[in-house]
Amino acid sequence: MSDLKLPENLQDWVVARRRFRLSHAHVQMARELGMNPRKLGKLDNHHQEPWKAPLPQFIEHLYFKRFGRERPAVVVSIEERAQAQRDKKAVRREARMKAREEALLLQERFTGS
């Protein structure tokens, strides 16, 4: 991972991934299911409550039930997703700056300033 800090909502998923020993695929499935990373502890107590499935199996079961497939087609880690968000934001910022500069040039042309 780069030295840039992750947004807090993604940082929660990194903490959950480490704490519950989830793979990148499990984290992505849980995110697509709309799970809250801070509430995963309730679901991961299969040692105290033996009728519950281990968290990775539970996530896989729910994902299959909702989407009809075992795993996502493309698995992207949290760090890769954060980098993609930063890159997209930088591209948008550059486009805005360029549009502003072009607008100023047009304004100067028409006003004769």
Helix (H) or strand (E) holding 28: helix 24-33
Tokens encoding 60: 């896989």
Span 17-50, pLDDT tens digits: 999 999 999 999 999 999 999 999 999 988 899 9
∠ CA 59-61-62, nearest 5°, is 65
What's the pLDDT tens digit per position in 94-112? 999 999 999 999 888 888 7
Would you state the pLDDT for residue 109?
Answer: 85
Average pLDDT, the chain: 92
Q: What is the pTM of this model?
A: 0.78
